[in-house]
Amino acid sequence: MALYESEHTKFMREWMAQHPQEQQEQQAGRALWWDKPQDAEARKRAAAAKVPTKAYYYQPD
């Protein structure tokens, strides 16, 4: 049984095979935007400071 693979996925696989240097560029971009060090204490403070959402958001006080 063959699994479906979109045209875009096929294109990207072929393109990445033809341009192996892009793997490094992709990893650098990910490190720039996503792979950030996590601070457990800051996350705990943010969770404690969170204000609960009302059941009906647009209801006036």
CA–CA gap between residue 34 and residue 31 (Å, rounded): 6
Burial class (CB in 10 A: 0-12, 13-18, 19+), 10: exposed
pLDDT of residue 32: 87
HSE-up (13 A, CA, CB side) for residue 13: 6
CA–CA gap between residue 49 and residue 46 (Å, rounded): 5
**11-24 pLDDT tens trace:** 999 999 999 999 99
Q: Is the pLDDT of residue 57 over 90?
A: no
Q: Does residue 22 contact residue 16 with C-beta atoms inside 8 Å?
A: yes
pLDDT of residue 1: 56
pLDDT of residue 36: 83
Percent of the chain surpassing pLDDT 90: 56
pLDDT of residue 58: 80
